[in-house]
A and B are shown apart, each in its own frame.
Chain A
């Protein structure tokens, strides 16, 4: 099966590594031989019908930070989608919550050309889920995005495939590892947010511009994807009521703690209402997970409550989800 990789940063490179590691396993266990026929980043694209040498690609970006040194050509990712033959496009460019670009154009172009799409990119889904889903259906291609929410946690596929007889009537979750790390440290040490944030930035857990995480933008994007994909709610990012954690004080955390509670940034979908806000969570509640872990609680009408906990990010962990989406496309026999 031929795949194209659009974006070759943390996740793209992580996928290349996992594919190298899992080459034999994929063939033996699933009869799947993957050929990466193109890799694009902002500098250009390398195309090889016989399969790009992933080891060399990794070495090149390690050295030169750009794939074009492979050597590749000055072809954009969009051009590559339009001109290179492949069955699957893996879209892993940066997430953009204002316009959804460049991911949105990439995904739509791929679908229009009859290519299946696998992605970890939240922006386009949080803004245009319905359009993407409908385009995929119209063109008869798969649209899979397990990696976009909760990293390695099998959340979307669990709910839509394993629990397909259940109606999920509410979802609550901690969907951002960075804020969970900050709040956990604040709880343990009773220190102010600025201090913990600065340390998290030094450790590479928080970005230099932390607003995406601590203002709840990331959690809200993921919540929108879950609401659409699992609960069939036609919502977009703009519909989410959002409050971040910037104003949480050590005193508030202490008052909560004295009473047997912790403060967590929780995303909740219930009765088509989407809300991200710091919430009081009882210490013995399943949502009380610490550090960078993520957790989601699915409330199903037959199965009851189901909770999953796992790593919500990471170049390697997230690729577990991307790989499983690719394998399921392969198994559905949609292509050779």
Chain B
């Protein structure tokens, strides 16, 4: 997961390394370091660090920072909006497309952002491509569950994307 960490360092040499060491030694991958020099107060410099780390290691990093007497002023997970893409096939309009969208938007952290519809003939099954913004993997999972439930009810087919971190590119 991606972590945002604010530390307040003494303005003497070696402090930054002291603060960053625990992150790398627990396998964290540092993405950015920003010195907020304009906010220096009482000889201390606030520094903002973002890094990726396996969830169970975060606790260890924080404990190590405490042991090293590094003042952590704020820590939290960075939740990035992600796009979930699905296709639907079936009588999408006849089975109340509005209701389908509403029921996805009802999930906290999820929102249907785009919908492209193809209807070859009013009587025939139509196809739709849906982009859904989600604020994390847990929300994405809920959306898929909800979609599958709706699909069963309305006799639609859901085509999911490949699993998220499936191979590189």
Among A275-291, those with CB < 8 Å from B are 277-282, 284-287
Contact A285 B166 (CB under 8 A): yes
Interface size, chain A (Cβ < 8 Å): 32
Contact A281 B128 (CB under 8 A): no
Give Cα A180 to B87, complex, Å: 19
Which residue of the partner chain, among A172, A254, A282, contacts B163 with CB atoms under 8 Å?
A: A172
Give Cα A172 to B163, complex, Å: 9
Contact A286 B167 (CB under 8 A): yes
Which residue of the partner chain, among A255, A270, A282, A307, contacts B128 with CB atoms under 8 Å?
A: A255
Task: Please choose the segment from B7-15, B25-33, B94-102, B118-126 that sits at the chain A interface, where 4 or more of its residues have CB less than 8 A away.
Answer: B118-126
Set of chain B residues within 8 Å of A287, measured between Cβ atoms: 162, 166-167
Give Cα A261 to B116, complex, Å: 14
Contact B85 A259 (CB under 8 A): yes
| Interface presence of A305 (CB below 8 A) | yes
Whole-angstrom distance from the CB of B61 to the nearest CB of chain A?
22
From A170, A249, A261, A266, residue with most partner B Cβ within 10 Å: A249
Whole-angstrom distance from the CB of B123 to the nearest CB of chain A?
14
Contact A280 B162 (CB under 8 A): yes
Set of chain B residues within 8 Å of A268, measured between Cβ atoms: 163
Give Cα A286 to B167, complex, Å: 8
Contact A279 B160 (CB under 8 A): yes
| Interface presence of B93 (CB below 8 A) | no
Give Cα A218 to B168, complex, Å: 28
Known: A256-B129, A259-B85. A280 touches B159 (CB 8 A): yes
| Interface presence of A334 (CB below 8 A) | no
Give Cα A279 to B159, complex, Å: 5
Which residue of the partner chain, among B85, B89, B162, contacts A285 with CB atoms under 8 Å?
A: B162
| Interface presence of A243 (CB below 8 A) | yes
Known: A249-B127, A255-B129, A259-B129. A279 touches B118 (CB 8 A): no
Among A227-260, those with CB < 8 Å from B are 243, 247-249, 251-252, 254-256, 258-259
Give Cα A259 to B127, complex, Å: 14
Contact B167 A252 (CB under 8 A): no
Which single residue of chain A is at the shortest CB-CB distance from B116? A255
Q: Mark A285-300, 1 if CB is under 8 A from B, else 0.
A: 1110000000001010
From A248, A251, A261, A280, residue with most partner B Cβ within 10 Å: A251
Whole-angstrom distance from the CB of A30 to the nearest CB of chain B?
35
Give Cα A270 to B160, complex, Å: 15
Set of chain A residues within 8 Å of B119, measured between Cβ atoms: 251
Set of chain B residues within 8 Å of A249, measured between Cβ atoms: 89, 120, 125, 127
Whole-angstrom distance from the CB of A289 to the nearest CB of chain B?
13
Whole-angstrom distance from the CB of B18 to the nearest CB of chain A?
32
Give Cα A281 to B159, complex, Å: 10
Among B121-169, those with CB < 8 Å from A are 125-129, 157, 159-163, 166-169
Contact B163 A255 (CB under 8 A): no
| Interface presence of A149 (CB below 8 A) | no
Contact B87 A305 (CB under 8 A): no
Set of chain B residues within 8 Å of A279, measured between Cβ atoms: 159-162
Would you mind naming 13 contact pairs between A and B with Cβ atoms under 8 Å apart?
Answer: A172-B166, A247-B90, A247-B125, A247-B157, A249-B89, A252-B87, A252-B118, A252-B159, A254-B118, A258-B129, A259-B129, A282-B169, A287-B166
User: What 5 A-B pairs come out closest when comparing CB atoms?
Assistant: A251-B118, A252-B127, A251-B127, A255-B129, A280-B161
